[in-house]
Amino acid sequence: MLSRIADSLFWLGRYIERAEDTARILDVTFHTALEQAQQPFGLRWDPILSMAGEAALFRQHYGEPNAHNVFEFLAFDPNNPSSIMQCVTKARENARTIRDRISREMWEDLNGLYFTLGNFNPQEETAAGPHRFCGRVIFGSHRFHGVTDATLPHDEGWQFLRIGSALERAEMTARLVDMQYRSLLEPASGVGPPDSHQWMAVLKSVGAYEAYHRQYHSPIEPERVAEMLILHPLHPRSIRFSMTETQSALRAISNTGPGFYANEAERLTGKVLERLRYDRIDDIFRSGLHGYLNDLIHNFNGIGEAIARAYFYYEVVA
Amino acid sequence: MNAALICLAGQGLFDGYEAGPFYDEMFGFPGRPRSHYARVFGRFNNMAPSQFAERRKLADLSFLLQGITFTVYNDGRGTERLFPFDLVPRILPQSEWAHIERGLTQRVVALNLFLQDLYGNQLILKDRKIPASLIYSCRHFRREMIGLAVPHGIYTHICGIDLVRDSASGEFFVLEDNVRTPIGISYVLENRLVMTRTFPEAFQEQEVLPVNSYPSELSRILRTLSPRGEAEAQIVLLTPGIHNSAYFEHSFLAQQMGIELVEGRDLIVDGVVVYMKTINGLKRVDVIYRRVDDDFLDSLCFRSDSALGVPGLMGAYRAGNVALANTPGTGVADDKAVYAYVPTLIRYYLNEDPILRTVETYLCDRRDHLSHVLAHLPELVVKSVGESGGYGMLMGPSADRSQIEAFRERILAEPRNYIAQPIVPLSQVPSYDAGSERMAGRHVDLRPYCLFDGQRVSIVPGGLTRVALQEGSLVVNSSQGGGSKDTWVLRGEC
């Protein structure tokens, strides 16, 4: 497989996942905002902007954040490289450069999603709220993965796409937990206890609300939510699950057995995964959740770079 | 000639259809379809305009979803437009197609022998059948290719030859040869697919010859060129990249043939061998179906400012370590001044009379021709010899005075660069006119696609029918508002 094609498949996976994650967080945050409208401290928009990594850019274009401009910025703004529309556009561009290597069904599905989302009117949607738009994005991502798994040979290319989305998901989940944990430490206006409302929102945003109740039979507690999102072995949006996916895909590409590694990306992934398997949530909280998550994110970046060095941009000695 | 008026009962799509003074591919006499069009005419004529509009929407959606679009950048953010597709097929009876096929085969074989000779012993120049000055002044003649043995002696493996039917005689004429990197075969295949999805019933009760063998035939021919033998042949399609207007076709063909689609940056030449960069290191490449022009193929050999090709590629080619299709330098055979000599070439190399006629052509660097051209500019079409795609053209009858004067100056400044031909009144096919929501006659050409393996020329039945969708227009190029039609060759006698 050409390096350029593997690279494009990796980013195709990443962009689709980023679009879905952003849509999930936007949707749930808005619903939380509606339910909290009566509360004195209202909703803070900064965390969601910094989570998307574009807080500075937002200030530059919009000034004070509110429900409408945050939605517009994160969903539609062509100046925001991480906006949902930009992610879908870039996913499509990547797919287009490799459309001979992906299935016709994948291309038509993604192309259809691009046109469907492009037909949404930003003004109308901003007035109506994000649910309709975000729902379409989330469903679009699910459908894309379904079509992909059902029509693309599960060869190296499929593995690179899988790594792209798993790595992106791991990072977004880490950022999400970190954002919630920090707002827990510093309640908006210093009044009132930080309620379980936002943690519930976090669970809902990753589609883990029902699973949480089945697992813990307890009220929403920050430690349990964090445990579920970071360490759960089987929940498809947990960090551990995403890293297991990454590892299995990397090993399939290099044909490496358990206990060994073929390159730096596999070494880092294995190291991170060992921690996720054996660390306990109480210990993580004791030593500092923020530091733990930061370290994970740092490692995810390292893995991404190592994959690029091993497969996409290696030195050619000619 | 008076415009004949066809009157049909009811509110059909053909109400008020005027065949006009042109050869109509569907109607031999007003209101009476030719026998090979009878069934299709029946289907469309029984269809309510609203039903037809529904089918049109379906077809457009299908093209849109597949991304068969081109990008227009006039609004700052890049809008994607569809290549217009007209649902009324262009139909040829098999007997007529057999004649065309014989003519094309003859032409392709002769053009290839011509290229072999030009880059070899140059007997035709020594015999003075074609002026050496005409060849050496040709922009696409590549000195670098002289004396170079190419695999199986084939220069042009893939060519598209533009035909038009002259309304006056009803005969097909060759209008242009395209022996470098002809575009359009993907539309032939996609048009057929969309047509069978949109109008399945139109295919019933008659046998339309299939077109889908093209990719496997091309793949077979490319494989035979491999210097390492066919078994382990690594074949790639070299594209200029996603911003090229034919990118859809490049990726479509690569996918259909199951070969790697590469850009220049994916390839590297080391020790006169071409490699591609894969996730498992460098992998040797044997055959390149290149859709990058000669000029941009190798910055060490041709244009040094090109970033689209592969530096050192021609070195590997000369060493016989990689095959290129088509070979560099084939453009000399589709130079529009050389076109005038193709009948001579056919007689010289094959000792046969040309089966397909060519349009009378005036070469502006011949003094006697030039004076005729300059005296008759408003009646002629003037073409720049090295251009394609409808660029660098003057349509005398529709040009205004200043355009004609501008061309006069350009011709006088560089006579070798221009040829002129009388305007061919193209035949027409009923096509949907969105304005009147009825059928109207629109001019068409025909580009069949020919593949040559050194022994046999194989031609996809039919080819691409391009249609000038603007009323009265004789220019079918997509850049000038042209669309396309599915093209059928019907089996059996009609």
For the cut 80, the answer to whether the pLDDT of residue A162 exceeds it is yes
Contact A97 B242 (CB under 8 A): yes
Nearest to A2 among B66, B247, B260 (CB): B260
Determine which of B279, B291, B310 to mutate to test the interface with A (most A C-beta atoms within 10 Å): B279
* pLDDT, mean of residues A176-195: 64
H/E segment holding residue B88: strand B85-93
pLDDT in tens, A54-86: 888 998 888 888 888 899 999 999 999 999 999
Q: Which amino acid is at B292?
A: V
Q: What percent of chain A has pLDDT over 90?
A: 63
Contact B261 A101 (CB under 8 A): yes
For the cut 60, the answer to whether the pLDDT of residue B176 exceeds it is yes
Find the range with the poorest average confidence among A137-141, A219-223, B95-99. A219-223
For the cut 90, the answer to whether the pLDDT of residue B79 exceeds it is no
- Of A19 and A196, which is predicted with more confidence? A19
For the cut 70, the answer to whether the pLDDT of residue A37 exceeds it is no
pLDDT computed for residue B3 by the predictor: 39
Contact A108 B64 (CB under 8 A): no
For the cut 90, the answer to whether the pLDDT of residue A264 exceeds it is yes
Contact B277 A316 (CB under 8 A): yes
* CA nearest to B247 within chain A: A97
Contact A107 B66 (CB under 8 A): yes
* CA nearest to B267 within chain A: A2
Q: What percent of chain B has pLDDT over 90?
A: 76
* pLDDT, mean of residues B442-454: 96
- Nearest-Cα distance to chain A for B77, in Å, is 10
Q: How confident is the model at residue A192 (pLDDT cuts 50, 70, 90)?
A: very low
Q: How confident is the model at residue A41 (pLDDT cuts 50, 70, 90)?
A: very low
Tokens of B144: 């670098």
pLDDT in tens, A142-153: 999 999 999 999
pLDDT in tens, B104-123: 999 999 999 999 999 999 99
Contact A107 B268 (CB under 8 A): no
* pLDDT, mean of residues A137-141: 96
pLDDT computed for residue A205 by the predictor: 83
Q: How confident is the model at residue A187 (pLDDT cuts 50, 70, 90)?
A: low
* pLDDT, mean of residues A113-140: 91
Contact A2 B277 (CB under 8 A): yes
pLDDT in tens, B1-59: 333 444 444 578 998 898 889 999 999 988 899 999 999 999 999 998 889 999 999 99
pLDDT in tens, B344-364: 999 999 999 999 999 999 999
CB atoms within 10 A of CB A187: 14
Contact B242 A96 (CB under 8 A): yes
For the cut 70, the answer to whether the pLDDT of residue A191 exceeds it is no
Do the interacting molecules here have an ipTM over 0.85? no
Q: What percent of chain A has pLDDT over 70?
A: 92
Residues of chain B with CATH 3.40.50.11290: 228-321
Nearest to A4 among B64, B266, B282 (CB): B266
- Nearest-Cα distance to chain A for B174, in Å, is 34
- Of B24 and B494, which is predicted with more confidence? B24
- Nearest-Cα distance to chain B for A181, in Å, is 40
Q: What is the CA radius of gyration of chain A?
A: 20
Q: How confident is the model at residue B155 (pLDDT cuts 50, 70, 90)?
A: very high
H/E segment holding residue A213: helix A209-216
Q: Which residues of B touch A312 (CB under 8 A)?
A: 279
From CA A118, how far away is CA A113, in angstroms rounded?
8
Are the C-beta atoms of B30 and B16 separated by less than 8 Å? no
Q: Which CATH number fits domain B228-321: 1.10.287.3510, 3.30.1330.10, 3.40.50.11290, 3.40.50.1000?
A: 3.40.50.11290
Which residue from B162, B103, B182 is spatially nearest to B346, judged by alpha carbons? B103
Residues of chain B with CATH 3.30.1490.270: 360-422
Q: At what angle do helices A67-75 and A84-97 cross, to 10 degrees?
A: 10
pTM: 0.87
Nearest to A316 among B66, B241, B282 (CB): B282
Q: How confident is the model at residue B135 (pLDDT cuts 50, 70, 90)?
A: very high
Q: What angle do CA A230, A236, A240 make, to 5 degrees?
A: 35
pLDDT computed for residue B80 by the predictor: 67
- Nearest-Cα distance to chain B for A165, in Å, is 19
Contact B255 A78 (CB under 8 A): no
From CA A94, how far away is CA A104, in angstroms rounded?
14
Give how far Cα A173 sits from Cα of A25, A56, A73, A163, Å.
10, 21, 21, 15
Q: How many CB pairs under 8 A join A and B?
A: 65
Mean residue pLDDT across chain B: 91
In B217-331 the beta strands, taken as DSSP E runs, fall at 235-238, 260-262, 267-270, 273-278, 281-284, 287-290, 323-325
For the cut 50, the answer to whether the pLDDT of residue A99 exceeds it is yes
**Where does B360-422 sit in CATH, by number?**
3.30.1490.270
* pLDDT, mean of residues A147-162: 97
Mean residue pLDDT across chain A: 89
For the cut 50, the answer to whether the pLDDT of residue A193 exceeds it is no
End-to-end CA distance of chain B: 28
For the cut 50, the answer to whether the pLDDT of residue A190 exceeds it is no
- Nearest-Cα distance to chain B for A251, in Å, is 14
From CA B40, how far away is CA B17, in angstroms rounded?
16
Contact A100 B252 (CB under 8 A): yes
pLDDT computed for residue B12 by the predictor: 86
For the cut 60, the answer to whether the pLDDT of residue A173 exceeds it is yes
Burial of B6 (0-12, 13-18, 19+ CB in 10 A): middle
Contact B65 A99 (CB under 8 A): no
From CA A160, how far away is CA A151, in angstroms rounded?
16
Are the C-beta atoms of B132 and B142 separated by less than 8 Å? no
Q: How confident is the model at residue A127 (pLDDT cuts 50, 70, 90)?
A: confident
